[in-house]
A and B are shown apart, each in its own frame.
Chain A
Amino acid sequence: MKLRLIFTCFVFFISNIVFSQTKYSLSGYVKDTANGEVLANCNIYTEDKKNGTQSNNYGFYTISLNPGINTIYFSFLGYNTYELTIDIKKNETRNIELSRSETEITGITVNKKRRDNQVDKIEMSTNNLNITQIKKIPALLGEVDIVKSVQLLPGVSTVGEGATGFNVRGGAIDQNLILLDEAPVFNSSHLFGFFSVFNPDAVKDVKLIKGGMPAQYGGRASSTLDVRMKEGNNKKFAVNGGVGLIFSRLSLEGPLFKNNEKRKNKTSFIVAGRRSYIDVLAKPFLRNNENLKDAVFYFYDFTGKINHTINDNNKIFFSTYIGRDAFGVPGAKFDWGNSTATFRWNHLFSRKLFSNFTFYYSKYDYQLGFGTGNNTFNWKSNIINYSGKTDFTYYHSPKSVIQFGLISTYYIFKPGDAVSKDQGSTIQFGLPNKYALENGFYIENEQKFSPSLTVRYGIRFSNFNYLGNGTALILDRPNPSQRANVIERKEFGKNEIIQSYNIPEPRFSANYKLNKLSSVKLSYNRLSQFLHLISNTAASVPLDVWTPSTNNVKPQIADQIAVGYFKNIGKNIDYELSAEVFYKELQNQIDYIDGAELLLNNQLEADLLNGKGRAYGLELYFKKNVGKLTGWVSYTLSKSERRVEGISLDQWYPNRFDRRHNANVTGSYEFNNKWSASASFVFGTGTPTNLPNTKFSFQGITGIPHNADGLRNSVYIKPFHRLDISATYVHKKTNKWESNWVFGVYNVYNRRNPFSYFSQPNPDVNNQTQLIRYSIIGNFIPSVSWNFKF
């Protein structure tokens, strides 16, 4: 099976080589004229539209042209289209700079030929958001939030406001690969789930891929959220900043060696930081509160990036992110955060072969401590990974682009290292570290079979090794719903393979253009996942532990098929419309026995169950791109279920994040140069939850809940809806200085949206029980923030 696939791919490549004719290539980088930032996914096409390509993630493009005079258009949403007329006699290099549409420069731009790409592009189930769009969306407490913006897209939902992460097409939150400049981020939230860890001042754009996953991405079963950082303005020094109710932000960017003619425009940097300051503001008010006067409460993040162009063929980047949340009250402290570092080298072997080499380090850790002096309890946990990868893009012919690459990642898991000091004597509770090595190889070809049919096919091989030092537990589970017995422990030495998995993952996408303005797309992909977030709370907590696949914990595998219809409306593509249906099957979904101990448990695997999942749905998306009013409407109808032996009478039951209907409307309107306003409305039917329907007493303990039906997630919470609005006032705008005020109201009509229901003994009346509706946000939240740049 595998061999045949490889052979088929090979034949395709060969056939292309044989039939290619002599052409010359035009290549270079596409950039923003204002700040030199590269533009990824820019559409580049010839006048007859028969030949076209896109710039890659690094802004690099190459297009094969017939000798003679050619007119090429460079088109990117929100920018003026650039028209280049060139007499091609040999291979040429042109770096193209596009200007933003609002700063129109006559002479070199042609707005009328603006062309959008959703119909032409092979990709489906994919949403791109640039930071300008994200900044328009009203945000909680005025804090621009990338993850919250993603939640407004079709197919994306969350278990409730304030919950960490997001769910894509019925997948769990750990099934999203969140990349910041190619390094994975393991926890995307500050303050549990209220704010995302990405500083909007340092982010350039965001791409969410829900299906038709390109072979270069792997390692998670549901989606990829690819967050790209700005490179830093290489034209002039710029400062961005803002003061909000939660954070203050400041970012600096600019060129280095500006005064050196030789090195000019070659190096630029950006550094951006945010810190919350509620602790500083609250301090005077807490002076008299015994419990809280010494409280610690803050979160911050720092993002930095530097890039240097060595020459036309070589470019290097270094980027880093450090974020941390810290909370503490006397006798207790808790902090967590991510840190990443990425080094990249873009190298052009030839005009046709672009390569990228990346090395990254990523870490998520937390620590928790109780007690003072001689009597303390401290607990640390982390996940660290070191990775190296190469990605190649071979622009084989105007009809074929081949991508291939290798990745290797070494993981260290520290599931929990606990130390208790009791009257000075120390007790260790630590769990041993776990180690793993993940390798991936992929190859993929995007082939234009005809002007209307484009197909992308490829395969990714994923290999995962659970390594020593370590102990493999051999389990026996006589009763599927209960804790397994450990019947044997096998010890493994350093770097010995305890368990190995090899999974071939076919990837396929096809785009058939019905006409100039509409297309039908189809995709199939298999994704595998070897890292699992062990969590059984409705909302994930920072304490949740990542664990590798082992001899007992099998890799999660998702197979997804999606079909979509894409249509552009209006002569300037004023509107975009898409409709997609998807069906997904998941294997080896992790669930938990009743009463599972997930933390500091050296036999954790005995508490994990293994089941299957399925999700299916319909997604509709309508977007208005131009004019004073811009925005989108999205609607998702979906169902997400799982079936695990030992749970819910072995029947299919809905996932905790199952939401049948989900609708979002977001829009912004520009009144004039001074004022603009935005609004977003979200509606979702409730998620299911478990509730007891009876109770009993034991040994004087009353109100012990019991569900006599034994079904999981059988009660649906009431629907959720919320309106947020904001208005932006541009206070001052000159060439040198710009500042604006953003006024917002979150949850305008003051609705207490249910996050969950739970049962509890009535705290005020002995021996009575009650049901509680729990709302994360119980009122409307006004906000004001001030932003500046110069």
Chain B
Amino acid sequence: MTKNTLYLLLTAFTFLISACEDPIELDLGAPVSQVVIDAVIDQTADTQWIYVSKSSAYLNNNKANSYELDTIGIVDTSNFTFYQFTSQNNGKYFFVPPAANTFKYGQTYQLLIRDKGNTFVSQSQLNSPTTVDSLTVKYEKNGPFGGNEGNYITLWAKDKIGLGDFYWFKLYRNDSLQSRASDIRIAVDNSTSQGGSGDGNLFIIPIRQNFSSRPYKAGETARIEILSINPEMYIYLNLIQVQLQNVGLFAVPPTNVPTNIICINNPNQKVLGFFSMVGKVSSEEITIR
């Protein structure tokens, strides 16, 4: 919605007077680098990953530094089983579940980190995934919102029955995640706002339509994962998207995207990032003709 509005406003505006955008250098001080935890764990039998890094200065375009913690893992809060993740010594930690559904729907899990005498925790409930029917390809002469001519993906899937289901749609092109801000697509029930009347229905337009900010070419493959997330994760992704697209005349004051990971022994110890358990379902991969 925000994206559509912004597009329309900008089109109208640039029509008359072309505003100018010039890259600038600005002294933003010497900010403190913080540890970033990226932990999204699903119920499948796939290898599960947690990525740990350090935040970098905003105008530093080198690759972010990785960071090694003392221990990291997740705890099943029903029986206190600890699933420790193994370090690859490059900030990447992995865990291979013995089987699918080792992590159970409806169960709450706790992220547990110990590092330099500090303990960080976070909690997340694993929600069951929805089901997916299929992907179709549509050739659009005018891409969405000024996009190029080409193939765009439509997702045919329905919201779970019951109100308050939150989703994140991850689009893959040739097995690579499309991760531009404009590729972030999320939903509440089958639409974009809570309390809609379309519970259990197909995801509405524009959610189900025009996946990808640039069109697909013949021969490329497409696949969409639907993650059942919790409301906190929805807000988190929404904020990230807003912050990354917060440009131009109608920009809102940039705000920090708040983490859900806290230090229990020292509230002044801050980390960035997010922990979420997700119920994942994936579409069949299709090849564009």
Contact = CB atoms under 8 A, between A and B. Distances in A.
Interface string B16-31: 1111111111101101
Interface in A744-779: 752, 755-762, 765, 767-778
Contact of A704 (B5, B21, B257): B257
B242 A595 contact: yes
> Could you say which of A377, A695, A699, A778 has the most chain B C-beta atoms within 10 Å of its C-beta?
A699
A247 to B, nearest CB: 12
Q: For this complex, into which size category does the number of interface residues on chain A fall?
A: 35 or more
B64 A697 contact: yes
Contacts of B80: none
Interface in B1-58: 1, 4-5, 7-9, 11-13, 15-26, 28-29, 31-34, 36, 38, 40, 51, 53, 55-58
A102 interface: no
A504 B205 CA distance: 51
Interface stretch (B70-78, B111-119, B125-133, B195-203): B195-203
A26 interface: no
Given A422-B204, A705-B243, A429 B40 contact: no
Contacts of B252: 536-538
A769 B249 contact: no
B217 interface: no
B59 A772 contact: no
Contacts of A694: 31-34, 55-58
A776 B57 CA distance: 28
B36 to A, nearest CB: 4
> Could you say which of B13, B17, B184 has the most chain A C-beta atoms within 10 Å of its C-beta?
B17
A776 B19 contact: yes
A428 B197 contact: yes
Contacts of A422: 198, 202, 204-205
Contacts of B235: 595
Contacts of B206: 370, 377
A691 B244 contact: no
Secondary structure of the B side of the interface? loop
Contacts of B55: 694-696, 706, 708
B258 interface: yes
Contacts of A708: 31-32, 34, 55
B37 to A, nearest CB: 9
A347 B34 CA distance: 72
B204 A774 contact: no
Interface stretch (B82-90, B94-102, B157-165, B175-183): B175-183
B266 interface: no
B21 A774 contact: yes
B288 interface: no
A697 B57 CA distance: 12
Contact of A693 (B24, B31, B38, B243): B31
B256 A707 contact: yes
Contacts of B251: 537-538, 756, 758
Contact of A368 (B5, B11, B13, B23): B5
B24 to A, nearest CB: 5
Interface stretch (A33-41, A59-67, A119-127, A709-717): A709-717
B262 interface: no
Contact of B36 (A297, A538, A698, A757): A698
B195 to A, nearest CB: 6
Interface string B262-276: 000000000011100
B258 A594 contact: yes
Nearest to A540: B250
A375 B25 CA distance: 44
A708 B250 CA distance: 24
A327 B8 contact: yes
Nearest to B6: A541
> Could you say which of A371, A538, A698 has the most chain B C-beta atoms within 10 Å of its C-beta?
A698
Contacts of A543: 5
B61 interface: yes
Contact of A773 (B24, B31, B198): B24
A703 interface: yes
Nearest to B146: A291
Contacts of B146: 291
B24 A295 contact: no
Contacts of A759: 58, 254
A420 B17 contact: no
B81 interface: no
26 contacts: A291-B142, A332-B4, A368-B8, A427-B196, A429-B196, A537-B251, A539-B250, A594-B255, A600-B193, A694-B33, A694-B57, A697-B36, A698-B240, A704-B257, A707-B256, A708-B55, A756-B249, A757-B26, A761-B180, A765-B61, A769-B59, A769-B61, A771-B26, A774-B247, A774-B249, A778-B19
Given A291-B146, A327-B11, 8 more contacts: A420-B205, A428-B197, A594-B258, A693-B31, A694-B55, A696-B34, A699-B38, A701-B184
